[in-house]
Structure 1
Amino acid sequence: MSDLRRIVIKVGSSSLNHPEGGLDDQAIQRIAGVIAGIRQLGVECVLVSSGAVAAGVGKLGLKTKPKDMAGKQAVAAVGQGVLIEKYALALEARGLVCAQVLLSRLDLAEASRYRNAQNTLEQLLRYQVIPIINENDTVAVEELCFGDNDRLSALVAGLVHGDLLVILTDVDGLYSANPKLNPQAELIEEVEDLTQVMHIAGGAGSSMGTGGMVTKLKAAEIATRFGMGMFLLHSKRIEEITKLIQGERPLGTYFFPAAHRIMGKKRWIAYGGLSEGSIFIDEGAVKALLKGKSLLASGITGIDGIWERKELVRINNPDGIEVARGLVELSSEELEKVRGKHSEEMLATIPNLEGEEVVHRDNMTLMIE
């Protein structure tokens, strides 16, 4: 890993929360010190940081975080300013400038906003600024659901074309069982096939955090399909990130990049955009897609949902399992008229189409191998 050019680090609430409430100032200082060390090694760094809710809880003197959405969002609004101020001061003391970037799900769901976010982050890095990214908790309903910042960190890593995603956690890595419950659990130091380990992930984490190991494995799925490795590291050993940059492998779990990686627009199609509906296809069409073919009307057996042309749809096999997603050339109303028909019949029914493909392979990403 000594050829790393750009890494993304995700730190969760459990790594930042002080046992007596609020943020742990020493944790912030350690993170800032590590980022400074990374920059001295000539590697660019993007930080995805939770902690707004924990910071707000401490600032307001609450014993626990609110359970209702309005309460969580209000606490996050208070805490986000506290969080970024502490990061800014800690980094400034080390000669670095940071920028707060708050993203909502819609910022990644719409193609134009996705590109805008990408361009902004790239410009910040050209200015040698440290982007500190968090979900926009104050207005986003979906963000405060289970473990979203793990997913966000993987999406951000794709946005900035990162070489490595490091997710800090409160355990040494991925274990064969929950180490807090089973003393016989063994650390899994390398994962080449995620499908072999998904079943061992547990539930939610600490009282301040929202993510469990399952969300980290889902983040690994995204990151590795983007063509980068992901490393799970205990937050107490955050300084060892520099070992990764220098080609050493500290204690933790490394997820190897997937053999078949997705690039460019297909990253957004696979994990950024919000799909408007579903297309159901027969087994023959499934086999064709897996061979790299486009989706034709003849293989479509049904649809679910309402959409217009060029919107994102899921493509499901006969069992309802998503095999691909892509930008559809026909509206749901048009597709209902031509599904199951041969291309000649489709073009005769809807003559203003540019081609015979319902979803062209260039605008489609496979969701299974």
Structure 2
Amino acid sequence: SLGRERLGLSERPKKISLLQAAAATGQSLLMRAYEDAFEPLGIHVAQVLLTHDAVTDRDRYLHAREAIDELLKLGVVPIINENDTVSIDELRFGDNDQLAAMVCTLIGADLLVLLSDVAGILDDQNTRISLVRDVSDIEAFIKPPESDVGLGGMQSKVEAARRATLHGLPVAVGPAASPEFLGALMQGDDVGTLLLPAGSPLPSRKHWIAYTLKPRGRIVVDAGACRALEKRHSSLLPAGVVLVAGSFRAGDAVSIVDESGEEIARGLARYGADEVRMLAGGHSHQIAERIGNHAGDEVVHRDDIVLTKNGA
């Protein structure tokens, strides 16, 4: 929004090139503000601009983590933002709440703090909720954002909190306008809303599959395959595939949905979309015969599957 204001734009641009120009203008203003704030404390800052495609590759994801770790070891505060000048809608993190959740899981942070224009997460009576033990308990009364200036809103913060808590990371949501909030939070005072991890955290790689990668297509599976995935944590075999939507390559992330369209899992496809279409409904021993190669008996291996239904 800094760039938008500097350029005299009253609302968020809809033209992609103008939006990117505003982002480029705002980056220098943002860094100048951070430098001015930290300089009296003798602390250096560094700009880190990320794009979604830079973290979809596992090696690049780990390189980003190493770079941020080095900055922290040097006592430098990384100012992390999405590189909006080159990002496009299909390859965006979504908003800064989602970016913050991704970065916190990337570096193994102790706590994710999300700032809002209200005192914390409010229930359906507009009363602040102090503690949330399971994110799914509060999703019913979270309203979508009304503003078209930003991309965030409480709905986005709750989704970011889900991502973080599934990684075993606690999340605090509180008022950006209160200078005392962070200090009070660190002292353990009852401020904002604290969301706790529920259950065992997802391993880093599986969290990356489910919440960093963006699905390139959908694989619709039958009821038997749904049960095998959810109850026995099985691999997805060709026999359970009903339909394939989208265009993806071997190794891409895919959304696995039931016949009603509800997502039950995400995973990494062993075969491309056209190959999976040819394999649908068949048996594993027919793979080489049908498509001329054999990369495994599974369409998606169990080690590459993460259940997502009901936040599993």
Q: TM-score w.r.t. structure 2 length?
A: 0.89
| Aligned mate of 2:119, from 172, 175, 196 | 172
Aligned equivalent of 1:342: 283
Q: Percent same amino acid among aligned pairs?
A: 37
Counterpart CA distance in 1 for 2:276 and 2:199 is: 34
User: Retained in 2: the 8 A contact 1:347–1:356?
Assistant: no
Aligned length: 308
SS class of match (1:79) = helix
Shift, 1:281, TM fit: 0.7
AA matched with 2:29: V
Contact residue 97 and residue 160 of structure 2 kept, 8 A = yes
1:250 to 1:143, Cα distance in 2 relative to 1, 3 A: farther
Measured at CA, do residues 296 and 167 of structure 1 come closer, stay the same or move farther in structure 2, by a change above 3 Å? same
Contact 2:254/2:269, CA 8 A, preserved across alignment = yes
Alignment correspondent of 2:144:
203
Distance 1:191 1:219 in 2: 14
Q: Report if aligned partners of 1:146, 1:211 keep a CA contact under 8 Å in 2.
A: no
Query: Residue 328 of structure 1 contacts residue 359 of structure 1 at CA under 8 Å; is this kept in 2?
Result: yes
Q: Which has the higher contact order (CA 8 A, sep 6+)?
A: 1
* 2:270 equivalent in structure 1: 329
Unaligned runs of 5+ in 2: none
Q: CA deviation at 1:334?
A: 2.1
The 1-side partners of 2:291 and 2:156 are apart by 43
Is 1:95 the counterpart of 2:42 in the alignment?
yes
Instruction: Report the 3-state secondary structure (helix = DSSP H, G, I; strand = E; otherwise coil) of the residue aligned with 1:218.
Output: helix
User: What amino acid does structure 2 have at the position aligned with 1:257?
Assistant: P
Taking a change above 3 Å as real, the CA distance of residues 250 and 237 of structure 1, as seen in their structure-2 partners, is: farther
Per the alignment, in what secondary structure is the counterpart of residue 359 of structure 1? coil
Match of 1:241 in 2: 182
Distance 1:298 1:58, change over 3 A: closer
Aligned to 1:254: 194
Contact 1:329-1:358 within 8 A present in 2 as well: yes
Partners of 1:143 and 1:310 lie apart in 2 by: 18
Cα deviation digits, residues 75-107 of structure 1 (max 9, x gap): 222221011012012212102111111122222
Q: CA deviation at 1:280?
A: 0.9
Q: How does 1:272-283 map to 2 (within 5 A)?
A: 272-283=212-223
Q: Is residue 314–residue 324 contact of structure 1 (8 Å, CA) maintained in 2?
A: yes
Which letter maps to 1:253? T
The answer on whether the counterparts of 2:217 and 2:247 sit within 8 Å (CA) in structure 1 is yes
- Aligned partner of 2:117: which letter? D
* 1:157 maps to 2:104: yes
Q: RMSD in angstroms over aligned alpha carbons?
A: 2.5
The CA deviation string for residues 197-222 of structure 1, in whole angstroms up to 9 with x for no partner, is 21212232667543211111111111
Check the 8 A contact 2:24/2:84 in 1, yes or no. yes
Q: CA deviation at 1:354?
A: 4.7
SS of alignment partner, residue 286 of structure 1: helix
Question: Gaps (5+ residues) in structure 1?
Answer: 1-52, 178-183
Hey, what's the Cα distance between the residues in 2 that align with 1:127 and 1:228? 24
Question: 280-289 or 332-341, which moves further after superposition?
Answer: 332-341
Identify if the C-alpha distance between structure 1 residues 75 and 63 changes in structure 2 by more than 3 Å, giving closer, same or farther.
closer
TM-score by length of 1: 0.76
* 1:27-56 residue CA offsets vs partner (Å, 9 max, x unmatched): xxxxxxxxxxxxxxxxxxxxxxxxxx2x22
- Runs (4+) off by over 6 Å: 143-147
1:67 equivalent among 4, 9, 13 = 13
